[in-house]
Amino acid sequence: MMHKESGRPAKKQVTVTINGKKCPAEEGEILLGVAIREKIAIPHLCFEPSLDPYGACRLCMVEVVKRGRKEMTTSCTLRAAEGLEIVTDTPEIVKYRNILFELYLAEAPKSEILKAMAARYGVTKTRFLKKLEAADTLDNKCILCGLCVRACNEIMGAGAIGFVNRGPYTLVGTPYGEPTKDCFGCGACVKVCPTNAVEMEDTGDTRIMKSWNGTKVPLSKCDCCGEFFAPKGLATAALARVIPSLKEEIAVLCPACRGKRIAQEEIRALSGGAGHHG
Ligand code: SF4
Ligand code: FES
């Protein structure tokens, strides 16, 4: 059978059970996504639908009941199948999760998002200690989930940041802790970071990636309104690769002016009876 809107073959519908509740799902759908849709709380930090699930933060751990046997697994890597049954808050899960929260509170003591999430699950203190790193450009808010590194590599293909150092000294940063020319200034790292650790700022014609050692990226100025609207490298290289037909417009017009120009052309074509509707 075909899906009505996409025209692609429809996926088989299955029923999974979460904490005793029967939930409809597509076969192969990520269980954490099903739980989110069903408004069943499972804490999670490294789940980003635009990237393949990786299971880095381990916070979304659940218990799976399979043929009468129980095992713990991350719900962001678990796929829906008929009859699958999970429980999100067994004593073992709660204990495991609380220790993880404590570890993350020690790792990223300045992240308000993390503190608020841990508090929602009853964890407000940590028994673990970590020396605050003055040299940490992520201001001790990073839990090392790797989402920013993956977005930079796998989505943008820039490879501007990575993990540096080892063990307790591991950080995310630029090579040699210096500004990097590989950064497009796209801001994907800012958007995907679950703890609000990555910071950037636009000042005049420049985007400053504060967390990446002050990497500076020039911004494009809109030919029409004169506003700075997008990093130059992004407009001319990365986006052009994704949407070649829009290359010219993206490079010279901000989204608002581009929308206006398209509307004007449409009105002109209609009133002139040109009959072109794209
Ligand atoms: S900066 Fe944010 S996205 Fe990057 S590793 Fe740290 S917590 Fe994850
Ligand atoms: S959200 Fe599943 S491991 Fe992080």
- Binding pocket residue ranges, ligand 1, CB within 6 Å: 138, 142-148, 172, 192-195, 197-198
63 and 70 Cβ atoms separated by less than 8 Å: yes
Residue 195: inside a domain: yes
Query: Which residue in 225, 276, 278 sits closest to 255, CA to CA?
Result: 225
Atom 6 of ligand 1, residue of closest alpha carbon: 142
Number of domains in the chain: 4
Spatial distance between the Cα atoms of 174 and 45, rounded to a whole number of angstroms:
23
Domain boundaries, position 246:
222-278
Cα 98 to middle of ligand 2, angstroms: 15
Residue 173: inside a domain: yes
Residue 6: inside a domain: no
Residue 2: inside a domain: no
Q: What is the pTM of this model?
A: 0.85
> Is the shortest distance between the CB of 60 and ligand 2 below 6 Å?
yes
142 and 172 Cβ atoms separated by less than 8 Å: yes
In this predicted model, what pLDDT tens digit does every residue of 205-247 receive, in sequence order?
999 999 999 999 999 888 889 998 888 877 666 666 666 666 5
Spatial distance between the Cα atoms of 74 and 152, rounded to a whole number of angstroms:
24
Is the per-residue pLDDT at 85 higher than 50? yes
Is the per-residue pLDDT at 134 higher than 70? no
- Predicted pLDDT of residue 7: 64
> Is the shortest distance between the CB of 74 and ligand 2 below 6 Å?
yes
Q: What does the DSSP assignment read for 150-206?
A: HIIIIIS-----EEES-GGG-EEE-GGGS--TT-----HHHHH-TTS----EEETTE
- Statement to judge: residues 262 and 208 lie in one domain: no
Burial class (CB in 10 A: 0-12, 13-18, 19+), 198: buried
CATH number for the domain spanning 51: value is: 3.10.20.740
Distances (CA, A) of 233 to 150, 153, 191, 216, 227: 19, 16, 18, 11, 17
- Statement to judge: residues 184 and 246 lie in one domain: no
Q: What does the DSSP assignment read for 19-54?
A: TTEEEEEETT-BHHHHHHHTT-----SS--TTS---
Q: Count other C-beta atoms under 10 Å from residue 71's C-beta.
A: 9
- Statement to judge: residues 186 and 120 lie in one domain: no
Residue 115: inside a domain: yes
- Statement to judge: residues 227 and 273 lie in one domain: yes
In this predicted model, what pLDDT tens digit does every residue of 92-117 receive, in sequence order?
999 999 999 999 999 999 999 999 99
- Statement to judge: residues 257 and 214 lie in one domain: no
Identify which ligand lies nearest to the alpha carbon of 42. Answer: 2
Cα 160 to middle of ligand 1, angstroms: 14
**Mean pLDDT confidence for 77-89:** 96
Residue 256: inside a domain: yes
- Statement to judge: residues 244 and 278 lie in one domain: yes
- Statement to judge: residues 97 and 77 lie in one domain: no
Residue 1: inside a domain: no
In this predicted model, what pLDDT tens digit does every residue of 239-278 receive, in sequence order?
666 666 665 666 678 888 888 887 887 888 888 755 444 3
Average pLDDT over all residues of the chain: 89
In this predicted model, what pLDDT tens digit does every residue of 26-63 receive, in sequence order?
999 999 999 999 999 999 999 999 999 999 999 999 99
- Predicted pLDDT of residue 77: 97
- Predicted pLDDT of residue 248: 66
Atom 4 of ligand 1, residue of closest alpha carbon: 148
Spatial distance between the Cα atoms of 133 and 13, rounded to a whole number of angstroms:
49
- Statement to judge: residues 24 and 94 lie in one domain: no
Domain boundary, last residue among 202, 218, 234: 218
- Statement to judge: residues 74 and 101 lie in one domain: no
- Statement to judge: residues 85 and 97 lie in one domain: no
Residue 20: inside a domain: yes
Identify which ligand lies nearest to the alpha carbon of 145. Answer: 1
- Statement to judge: residues 267 and 246 lie in one domain: yes
234 and 250 Cβ atoms separated by less than 8 Å: no
Candidate from 105, 195, 196 with most ligand 1 atoms within 8 A of CB, to mutate: 195
- Statement to judge: residues 124 and 85 lie in one domain: no
Domain boundary, last residue among 171, 203, 218: 218
